[in-house]
Chains A and B, each alone.
Chain A
């Protein structure tokens, strides 16, 4: 069972959460100015990295709040959780920390 740390509720089972896809995808400032291709890019195209990935999660079975998590897509290790008002963590630092911890 994957366990995820909610920034408000602490460590809970994955079954209490729902997944919200890639984080930090900003809504276009002026959607009507976009070409169809740019709009499709915004709507449907997401990163799919092998490694650390910033994603959105919602704690539906608890406090019902959205937050962001950096998860390693290879190992499922959750490297960081942060709220929408927290600064975005630097992924290369997280990877270095994680490597240091396991070494």
Chain B
């Protein structure tokens, strides 16, 4: 088998071919929005009954309990667990995926559980800037107002009619997490959506 680090040097992110457009596609001004792809994050899918010993084992291994409620994320030791469903989570982490999968499988013990490396399933597009929420609100049916969608909230919903995870990491920073196969569509939609937020004076220039 080929060495993993050699293969990692060869890999391409789902938005590799749009890197220039994404880098230059942001707008400045009062309602500035910048786009960026955060490629190759470790993403591990966890499915386990929330009230089981296995779930508690995984809580301990992660250092923060898996969230038991919609929208909530829990963060500890470089891992962030996102609630996707009552028995399903996505752990985004700085730990290499194979290591984390092994740790969590061991932590689940004998409880029937599924721990899978899903890093290649989705990519992350980050929107930063004061206009980020307005851009997302053009195509997302969920309520993203800060009174309900606080920092650290993440939900499964849709953007531009395709399923994505929308995750607010900071007051002006949102992560949109689409499937790899839909990433180019979502990125193209976002690039178009941010254009109207450019300062008016710049348009005639």
Q: Is A12 an interface residue (CB 8 A)?
A: yes
The B156-176 residues at the A interface (CB cut-off 8 A) are 156-158, 163
- Interface mask (B68-99 → A, CB under 8 Å = 1, otherwise 0): 00100000000000001110100000000000
- Kindly provide the distance from the CB of B81 to the nearest chain A CB, expressed in whole angstroms: 15
Q: A8-B70, A9-B70, A16-B141 are in contact. Are A63 and B158 (CB under 8 A)?
A: no
Q: For B83, give the chain A residue with the smallest CB separation.
A: A63
Interface residues of B toward A: which range? 10 to 19
Q: Is A98 an interface residue (CB 8 A)?
A: no
Residues of B within 8 A of A63 (CB): 70, 84-86, 88, 156
Q: Is A15 an interface residue (CB 8 A)?
A: yes
* Dominant secondary structure of chain B at its interface with chain A: strand
Tell me if A12 and B142 are in contact (CB < 8 A). Answer: yes
Q: A15-B141, A63-B85, A65-B86 are in contact. Are A9 and B155 (CB under 8 A)?
A: yes
Q: A9-B70, A10-B70 are in contact. Are A61 and B158 (CB under 8 A)?
A: yes
Q: Is A64 an interface residue (CB 8 A)?
A: yes
Tell me if B86 and A8 are in contact (CB < 8 A). Answer: yes
Q: Is A51 an interface residue (CB 8 A)?
A: no
* Dominant secondary structure of chain A at its interface with chain B: loop
Q: Is A20 an interface residue (CB 8 A)?
A: no
- Kindly provide the distance from the CB of A84 to the nearest chain B CB, expressed in whole angstroms: 12
Q: Is A89 an interface residue (CB 8 A)?
A: no
User: A63 to B70, alpha carbons, bound, how many Å?
Assistant: 9
Q: Is A13 an interface residue (CB 8 A)?
A: yes
User: A36 to B111, alpha carbons, bound, how many Å?
Assistant: 43
Interface residues of A toward B: which range? 10 to 19
User: A65 to B84, alpha carbons, bound, how many Å?
Assistant: 11
Q: Is A62 an interface residue (CB 8 A)?
A: yes
Residues of B within 8 A of A8 (CB): 70, 85-86
The B113-166 residues at the A interface (CB cut-off 8 A) are 141-142, 155-158, 163
Residues of B within 8 A of A9 (CB): 70, 155-156
Question: What are the nearest 8 A-B pairs in CB distance?
Answer: A63-B85, A13-B141, A9-B70, A62-B156, A8-B86, A61-B158, A61-B163, A64-B85
Can you pick out 27 interface pairs between chain A and chain B where the beta carbons lie within 8 Å of each other? A8-B70, A8-B85, A8-B86, A9-B70, A9-B155, A10-B70, A12-B157, A13-B141, A15-B158, A16-B141, A16-B157, A61-B156, A61-B158, A61-B163, A62-B85, A62-B155, A62-B156, A62-B157, A63-B70, A63-B84, A63-B85, A63-B86, A63-B88, A63-B156, A64-B85, A64-B88, A65-B85
Q: A9-B70, A64-B85, A65-B86 are in contact. List 16 more A-B contacts (CB 8 A).
A: A8-B70, A8-B86, A12-B141, A12-B142, A12-B157, A13-B141, A16-B141, A16-B157, A16-B158, A61-B156, A61-B158, A62-B85, A62-B155, A63-B70, A63-B86, A63-B156
